[in-house]
């Protein structure tokens, strides 16, 4: 009887704490105006790697005016971005006509974590830091 009662109390408390963490708002002020440099990549299998040294100067910049800039090796991609602070969903509309969404799971002003899903639903997690 004690085990059942204890389980009845612990499981809901655990689920509430997970729910609260998953719904923590992402403040735009913690994202915009900073150059975000890729620090680590976690693939769908959970393997974490660091980007190669040739990517050390690559960055993503979410400007506070809603414009977006992605410097990747020798290519620059620009566009507009919006953030739903309640869900952490970022929508990027690139000037080249492409659009995509990502999910920010952490933005504390020094670190930014973004989850991206591919066409098969596999999630890649990108961990950035600002310098």
Question: 90-116, pLDDT tens digit by residue?
Answer: 999 999 999 999 999 999 999 999 999
CA 9, CA 112: separation in Å to the nearest integer?
34
Question: 37-91, pLDDT tens digit by residue?
Answer: 999 999 999 999 999 888 888 999 999 999 999 998 778 999 999 999 999 999 9
- Is residue 37 helix, strand or coil? strand
On whether the CB atoms of residues 61 and 34 are closer than 8 A, the answer is yes
Write down the pTM of the prediction. 0.78
120: number of CA atoms within 13 Å, CB side? Answer: 3
Domains annotated on the chain, with CATH: 26-130 (2.40.128.280)
């Amino acid at each position: 009887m004690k085990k059942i009662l204890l389980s009845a109390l612990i499981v809901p408390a655990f689920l509430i704490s997970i729910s609260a963490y998953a719904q923590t708002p992402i403040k735009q002020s913690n994202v915009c105006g900073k150059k975000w440099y890729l620090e680590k990549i976690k693939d769908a299998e959970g393997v974490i790697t660091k980007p190669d040294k040739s990517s050390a100067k690559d960055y993503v910049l979410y400007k506070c005016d809603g414009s977006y800039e992605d410097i990747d090796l020798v290519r620059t991609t620009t566009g507009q971005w919006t953030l739903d602070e309640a869900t952490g969903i970022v929508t990027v509309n690139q000037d080249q006509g492409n659009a995509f969404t990502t999910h920010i799971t952490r933005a504390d002003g020094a670190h930014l974590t973004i989850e991206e899903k591919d066409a098969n639903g596999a999630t890649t997690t990108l961990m950035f830091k600002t310098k």
